[in-house]
Structure 1
Amino acid sequence: MDRKKRWLIYGMLTLATSTWGSAFIAGKIAIESFDPATISFLRFFGAALLLFPIMWMFEKDRPKHTKKDWILFMLLGLTGIALYNICFFYASKYAPVIKSSLFIAANPMLIMLLSGVFLKEAITRRNVVGLLLAFFGVITIITDGDPMVILKFQFEFIDLILLGAVITWALYSVLGRVVLQKYSSIVSTTYAVGFGTLFLLPFSLIEQPWERFSDSTLSAWLAIGHMSVFVTVLGFILYYYGIQKIGAAKASIFINVMPVSAVVMATLFLGEVLTIGTIIGACFVISGVYVGTSVKRRHKQSHMSTKTG
């Protein structure tokens, strides 16, 4: 891959994860009118209405689906669309944007770990160091800098929800790498969103959303529309394209852009305050992700330099 194309992919991944940061703000707005599962369903139903025509128009020569392919598409819909977003919007309702966004910033380390286990990618000592740094950062964020909270078992239930979001997104990324060996990012995203929407429907019906429609605000609908078009259609296609071209572990580096954009927007638009514990935790998370994910690229550059010399 030449340098120009590589930087183009990096730019696309940066754009994708930047839009995901705005989902934390949009989620805070939408949650004032609708319950979490309903927001997720409306978001992905709207995205599906756009994605399927796009796929049919630009992906006419799609590979023939096998039974295994359909199972993988269903798993993508279950993990990255249904379960992740239910966890995400519950976090939007009960956790500060800064805390939830930085917590999810630990995702690259878990994605790298799962990539090593299931995709047989090499995990170095620096990967492990980075993982431990990021984990310490997450603990710092959860406890707000007070380690005694761990000893007193004073975790909040929402922390388990956030952990569920981290795990399901990591599974979605790793499974996506398998699917992308055969299908394009548009096809993979479309079927994942399609199945995810179906999985979300019963959860939404339990919440009886029709009772909330009359009281919903225009801002809530605009927020859902933003998440459908930009966060889902644009963001997911670009993210999967990046995974397809440079791999799940390396593409996950750019997830760090998401909490940065979310924190900036939270302080600007929601008036949330950064605590010392959150700042320290964020530094450890970002440092850990940098240490753990920059190794592969540096190793490759070193190898190339040796070969040239």
Structure 2
Amino acid sequence: MNKKLWLTYGMLTFATATWGSAFIAGKYAVQSFEPATVAFFRFFGAVILLIPLMFVMEKNRQKPNLKDYGLFAVLGLTGIALYNIFFFLASKHAPVIKSSLFIASNPVLIVLLSALFLKETITRNNVIGLAIALSGAFFIITEGHLLSLFKLGFEPIDFVLMGAVVSWALYSVVGKVVLKKFSSVESTTYAVAFGTLFLMPFALAETSWQDVQQATGTTWFAIIHMSVLVTVVSFVMYYNGIKEVGAAKASIFINVMPVSAVIMATLFLGENFTAAHAIGAALVLSGVYIGTNPRLFKKKQAEKLVKNEIA
């Protein structure tokens, strides 16, 4: 495996692991603001950083046409505005186990949509790796009690959770189309700018100036963390990963998110790290390795053929 590919995989791991910290930061931020307002401030802060970054990094930028702006608007609507509204609504009204389960199933839909609309080749390794990583994510979410999944009945909030999954899958797949013409920095900047505009009416409706003045230092620190690391750095890295290895393969790394969320909850919120979490983390990492290593089974098959010929 070449160095560039290792760097891409390292960036995807860092990006998705950083997203896990959003669960912790978000928990502090919603103590002062409503969910849509937290999302608005997060992306407003991010776009302030992204615009100058884009001008510095992309000297020879292409001017977007009307169709490009339409695609950027779709990205902003799906991955920035709708996903965050659905996600925070669900985190407020649905059990954590159910919310986490739906979010963890995201890569499956991304793989299917990538195969259907982007004509990406889905290999056996991708499928095996995805299945193992997904089982690891489920193991972490249910703390080893997989049967508890069957006890969760269907509720109206499940439509909201489905909305979150579909929104992120569309964001990843449409993003691949945009990345054929624009860089990861440009794509992220335009998507976040449109998403911030879509979130603004919700923030204005649910937040007063008094709420802003009374927000704690911890809340603002959490929002700054989500703006800089979780959004600017991680989104650019994730989009770069999609550009280099495709949406299907990049989506396997999403399963790293629950692993990092559990580790950070243990460190910062004092939650227990159990044996089930360790097993789940091992499954996720194994799944990511298998799903991103196309020669793994081919190598073994080749060795078997050589042995048979010698015999």
Change (3 A) 1:131 1:54: closer
- Once the two structures are superposed, the pairs formed by residues 210-225 of structure 1 within 5 Å of their partners are 210-225=209-224
Contact conserved, 2:104 with 2:134, CA < 8 A, in 1?
no
Q: What is the deviation of 1:70?
A: 0.9
Matched, 1:42 2:32: no
1:254-276 superposed Cα distances (whole Å, 9 cap, x missing partner): 11221100011123322445799
- Once the two structures are superposed, the pairs formed by residues 143-162 of structure 1 within 5 Å of their partners are 145=145, 154-155=153-154, 158-162=157-161
Q: Which residue of 2 aligns with 1:30?
A: 29
Secondary structure of the 2:214 match is coil
Q: Which residue of 2 aligns with 1:237?
A: 236
Q: What is the deviation of 1:72?
A: 0.6
1:204-231 superposed Cα distances (whole Å, 9 cap, x missing partner): 1221343422331110010000000000
Separation in structure 1 between the aligned mates of residue 298 and residue 251 of structure 2, nearest angstrom: 18
Farther-moved stretch of structure 1 (45-54 vs 261-270):
261-270
1:107-161 superposed Cα distances (whole Å, 9 cap, x missing partner): 22211111011111234677667777788888885899586885x8734555443
The TM-score with structure 2 as length reference comes to 0.81
1:249-303 superposed Cα distances (whole Å, 9 cap, x missing partner): 1111211221100011123322445799x86995899499659945856477689
Aligned sequence identity (%)? 58
Change (3 A) 1:139 1:266: closer
Contact conserved, 1:94 with 1:158, CA < 8 A, in 2?
yes
Q: Give the root-mean-square deviation of aligned CA atoms.
A: 3.6
Gaps of at least 5 residues in structure 1 are none
Q: Which residue of 2 aligns with 1:262?
A: 261
Q: What is the deviation of 1:162?
A: 3.2
Gaps of at least 5 residues in structure 2 are 305-311
Secondary structure of the 1:71 match is helix
1:89-122 superposed Cα distances (whole Å, 9 cap, x missing partner): 2344455667644542222221111101111123
- Once the two structures are superposed, the pairs formed by residues 1-309 of structure 1 within 5 Å of their partners are 3-94=2-93, 100-101=99-100, 103-123=102-122, 145=145, 154-155=153-154, 158-272=157-271, 286=284, 293-294=291-292, 296=294, 298=296
The number of residues matched between the two structures is 303
Change (3 A) 1:300 1:9: farther
Q: Which residue of 1 aligns with 2:308?
A: none
Match for 2:43: what amino acid? F
Separation in structure 2 between the aligned mates of residue 91 and residue 281 of structure 1, nearest angstrom: 27
Separation in structure 2 between the aligned mates of residue 160 and residue 143 of structure 1, nearest angstrom: 24
Change (3 A) 1:136 1:286: closer
Change (3 A) 1:128 1:258: closer
Separation in structure 1 between the aligned mates of residue 286 and residue 273 of structure 2, nearest angstrom: 20
Change (3 A) 1:261 1:200: same
Separation in structure 2 between the aligned mates of residue 304 and residue 251 of structure 1, nearest angstrom: 27
Change (3 A) 1:219 1:153: closer
Contact conserved, 2:138 with 2:146, CA < 8 A, in 1?
no
The TM-score with structure 1 as length reference comes to 0.82
Farther-moved stretch of structure 1 (182-191 vs 260-269):
260-269
Contact conserved, 1:98 with 1:263, CA < 8 A, in 2?
no
Change (3 A) 1:289 1:203: farther
Separation in structure 2 between the aligned mates of residue 58 and residue 37 of structure 1, nearest angstrom: 30
Separation in structure 2 between the aligned mates of residue 55 and residue 239 of structure 1, nearest angstrom: 16
Q: What is the deviation of 1:68?
A: 1.5
Contact conserved, 2:29 with 2:219, CA < 8 A, in 1?
yes
Farther-moved stretch of structure 1 (100-109 vs 42-51):
100-109
Change (3 A) 1:145 1:46: same
Change (3 A) 1:223 1:287: closer
